[in-house]
Structure 1
Amino acid sequence: MLKNLTAPKRVQPPRIDTDEVIPMFYFDEYWRWIIMSKTIRFNDVLDVDKLHSTLSHLCTMGEWRKLGGRLRKNSAGHYEIHVPREFTSKRPAVGFSKVSFDTSIEDHPVASKMPNHPTLADKPSIQCGPEELKGLNQYDGSPRSIDDFLYSDRPQLHLHTVSFGDATLVTYTWSHSLMDACGMQALYEAWSLVLGGKESQVKPLAGYKDAMADFGLVQPPKPWLFESIVMGMFSMIFFGLRWIISNLGKAKPETKAIFIPARMVQKLRTEGLNQVPDVDEKGNKMFLSEGDILLAWITRTVCLDEPLGAHRDVIIGNALDLRTRLPNVFSPEKSYVQNAIFMIYTVEKLKKVVQGTVGSLALHIRKLIVEQVKEDQLEAEARLTRVAKEKFNTIILVGSANSVLVMCSNWTKAKFFEALDFGPAVLKQGQPDETRVNGLGKPAYFYWNMLNDQPLGMKNVINIMGKDAEGNYWVLAVLGQKQWQNMEVELARR
């Protein structure tokens, strides 16, 4: 803190008159403070210069140029993206750095800790998290806050690669204000097409006009489902204080990966369906997705060590991509590299979560998802979200100060193990066909990391990263020490 007080005041680089200025989209501003990196393991030797040149070229195509812009804050306090008229070696579209080792990835003291499918067999397990892989995803001058973008001329994307004799790690770093998970998917698909010489098939980016600029401005005819229990400012403050106090004296929450084999997911889903009626109220066959089941099972495991109170609620926040839910807002003919996510909430009594079945909780989650994805409900939530942002500069949360909050983001629909195809950049196959699950030039594993300091006591964060070519799921979770112990016990039972 003293260092921050004594450090010289940072100033933004001088404005360049020829730069094209794009206002940051309204809902993108919510996420600006989160600085992300994502590291992807390929069990092949890749031409990393080709990866860089094709990504850079994508950022010169039409409104895809926005991705090569610089973040700025204007005199009115609003955020903008300043796009150079021409990208040069001094002002590149994409930052780039690379490191190489002549040895196998399995001989590297840190990279060898990354999960590799042949060593996992068919047993669920807890694997190392981003902290244990620190160093692989960072480069000299890696950003740590939004200020590192505002007070420099760095582009929004930086590509960092680590090459081995039989594998390649590809990391890109960005401010979350640039995109969400499905924005990443759109970027992956476009990048893969350019890499494969199919530039003409790249969808145009809707990058300059905010598709959601008017969404939530009009008062909807019906209130949002959970409007009556939206936390006010004081409730949020008390919730935060209780959260911090409850974690005092405890070990810092840890981020780790969970490997869940396909057969375990299938068994959980079968058990869950057996725990609920065969048909719903309308006589339709009961449906529970793998995501419903996984979220219910993980939530129950996370809550096992929570003190049971007669009136304590569990609040499950589930990130929902809006692109396919709002046909009047988003066109299937365009790509949307931005943040287009709202939280869909589930509220249930803690006692019922812990003592009830996974199937009943999954069904409750499913019913509330169906109710909240209706367009009028999404518009009602958007309206409240705007009010919270303009009044308190915060997101909306539901529940009370003593609620147990579990936040989840499910990336399965983004198909990250499929969307990225670096086959045309493969110089040498690393892993032999008989032991590999992923195709040539396809991701074998990936993980993300928040580069800025995490909020004090942040835990109960679940990221279902998706499933690989064999249907095995990967989950990244931020949990407390006791919760990880409970997770080990639950996995051992499977």
Structure 2
Amino acid sequence: MGVFQSKPVQLATVPTDAIVPVHSLDDTPVFRSMVLEFTLRFDDVLDPLKLRESLAQLLEIGDWKKLGARLRLNKNGKLEYHIPAQFTEERPPFSYSHVQYESSIEEHPLASKIPKNTPHPSIHPDPAIFRPLARAPDTPTKIEDYIYSDRPQLCLHIVSFTDATLISITWPHTFIDAMGLAAFFNAWIQVLNGQSSFVLPLHGFSTDPLSNLVKTPTTTHETYILTPFLIKGVKFYFFIINYLLELVIYPKEEAHSVCFPASTISSLKATAVKELEAQNPDAKEKPFLSDGDIITALWARLAVLHLTPPPTSKKPIPKTIINISNAFGLRSILSSPPVILPKEKAYISNAVLSIFTLLPLNDLIERPISWTANEVRRIPRRFLVG
């Protein structure tokens, strides 16, 4: 006798809900696969009721009510938002939970292990171990938990100690990206400060301002700039075989978080900029590198060291191309003419693309960090803006 599991069924549509499609750049397989959480630690006792009420107030301001939407699938299998006409106790704008400990955060066996600032780079445990502090037991863990229920997408979880407060937000990646989350927190802070009138209006409530970015090009006169690096033919099958073998040999990945003090990054960046200036002393503009460029370059160097022969070996460095994949935020570049994402509005959605920097392994190893950081900044930008 077999056991058959019935397919989940969506709840009936509430007639008074406003229905708008999820933006095309949000509804992707990658974003559907992720439910994220973000935790802020405050070494102070915050009022959980005030935090909850201010967030509820934000989601009552104009189009910000969209943040209280429920996720559904339409008949074509695409995601859409069902926005309640009015939030109630039965259908709140967000899920809320609060845990109170009558002790110091340093007395808690798990919270005491949360990474702290250090004067030198440090390695810490897998952030996933702190998940019990970031979400309630019934908080969604997959996109289906939202689609086949009437849960709001935002989950606010607060943990209070006698000397600290943890504020955690959980959401599906289809909902918002990192820079959108920053805009969300800025708006929430303004409401907390009694400055609701300064909250930026929401952009793209029922229309998708980035829809043209995901359309298939209508002209084919230009060759895709990464075409020479595509893995095709026999090489593709060797890639798949090697990938599967790696999954068998190394079935588990060990995750850690690495913390770099601001002073370390500032020092590395200052050195890198000086090296670039020395290479082109007559340049009209001073070279620019972001913190992210430096961290990416440093991490890329560390990540490929195992591919190189030991210092005592006479073998040459293999002729290998390394792909450095990064995320590129679109808000700043699309706020310039022709303006697609205006700065005077908050875009609470995903506005990010993957970018790639392809560099020879020997250059990553033998050239200074400044060269790699400059290539990480230069090459993807050339691909994107010409």
Same fold (TM over 0.5): yes
Query: How much does 1:41 deviate?
Result: 0.8
- Pairing 1:182–2:179 present: yes
Q: Which amino acid aligns with 2:39?
A: T
1:394 matched residue in structure 2: none
Q: TM-score, normalised by structure 2?
A: 0.88
Q: Any conservation in 1 of the 2:308–2:318 contact (CA below 8 Å)?
A: no
Q: Any conservation in 2 of the 1:325–1:373 contact (CA below 8 Å)?
A: no
Query: How much does 1:277 deviate?
Result: 5.4
- 1:36-435 matches, cutoff 5 A: 36-117=36-117, 120=118, 122-206=119-203, 207-217=205-215, 218-219=217-218, 222-230=222-230, 239=239, 241-250=241-250, 252-273=252-273, 275-276=275-276, 278-280=278-280, 283-284=283-284, 285-306=286-307, 310-326=318-334, 327=336, 328-374=339-385
- 1:439-458 matches, cutoff 5 A: none
Distance 2:39 2:238 in 1: 36
Distance 2:353 2:96 in 1: 32
Query: How much does 1:298 deviate?
Result: 1.0
Distance 2:182 2:91 in 1: 26
Q: Any conservation in 2 of the 1:279–1:286 contact (CA below 8 Å)?
A: no
| Deviation larger for 339-348 or 285-294 | 285-294
C-alpha RMSD over aligned residues: 2.5
1:435 matched residue in structure 2: none
Q: Tell me the alpha carbon deviations over residues 235-285 of structure 1, each in whole angstroms, 9 at most, x when there is no partner.
A: 777645533422433362222222212332233224434544525497233
**C-alpha spacing 1:232/1:153, structure 2 compared with 1 (3 Å):** farther
Q: Tell me the alpha carbon deviations over residues 296-335 of structure 1, each in whole angstroms, 9 at most, x when there is no partner.
A: 0111001111367734211111211111102321111211
Q: Any conservation in 2 of the 1:66–1:208 contact (CA below 8 Å)?
A: no
**C-alpha spacing 1:249/1:212, structure 2 compared with 1 (3 Å):** same
Q: Any conservation in 1 of the 2:200–2:345 contact (CA below 8 Å)?
A: yes
Q: Which amino acid aligns with 1:295?
A: T
Query: How much does 1:200 deviate?
Result: 0.6
Aligned residues: 369
1:11 matched residue in structure 2: 9
| Deviation larger for 291-300 or 228-237 | 228-237
Query: How much does 1:15 deviate?
Result: 1.0
**C-alpha spacing 1:80/1:240, structure 2 compared with 1 (3 Å):** farther
Higher strand share: 1
Q: Residue 288 of structure 1 aligns to a residue in which SS?
A: coil
Q: 4+ residue stretches of structure 1 with deviation over 6 A?
A: 232-237
Q: TM-score, normalised by structure 1?
A: 0.69
Distance 1:200 1:234 in 2: 61
Distance 2:232 2:43 in 1: 49
Query: How much does 1:230 deviate?
Result: 4.4
Distance 2:293 2:218 in 1: 31
Distance 2:226 2:77 in 1: 32
Distance 1:43 1:238 in 2: 52
**C-alpha spacing 1:271/1:90, structure 2 compared with 1 (3 Å):** same
Query: How much does 1:43 deviate?
Result: 0.8
**C-alpha spacing 1:272/1:151, structure 2 compared with 1 (3 Å):** same
Q: Any conservation in 2 of the 1:163–1:169 contact (CA below 8 Å)?
A: yes
Distance 2:236 2:70 in 1: 33
Q: Any conservation in 1 of the 2:25–2:214 contact (CA below 8 Å)?
A: no
Structure 2: segments with no counterpart, 5+ residues: 310-316
Q: Residue 71 of structure 2 aligns to a residue in which SS?
A: strand
Query: How much does 1:232 deviate?
Result: 6.8
**C-alpha spacing 1:346/1:167, structure 2 compared with 1 (3 Å):** same
Q: Residue 358 of structure 2 aligns to a residue in which SS?
A: strand
2:32 matched residue in structure 1: 32
Q: Residue 26 of structure 1 aligns to a residue in which SS?
A: coil
| Deviation larger for 65-74 or 305-314 | 305-314
Q: Tell me the alpha carbon deviations over residues 447-493 of structure 1, each in whole angstroms, 9 at most, x when there is no partner.
A: xxxxxxxxxxxxxxxxxxxxxxxxxxxxxxxxxxxxxxxxxxxxxxx
Higher relative contact order (CA 8 A, sep 6+): 1
Distance 1:290 1:6 in 2: 52
Q: Residue 49 of structure 1 aligns to a residue in which SS?
A: helix
**C-alpha spacing 1:32/1:130, structure 2 compared with 1 (3 Å):** same
| Deviation larger for 247-256 or 64-73 | 247-256
Q: Any conservation in 2 of the 1:278–1:286 contact (CA below 8 Å)?
A: no
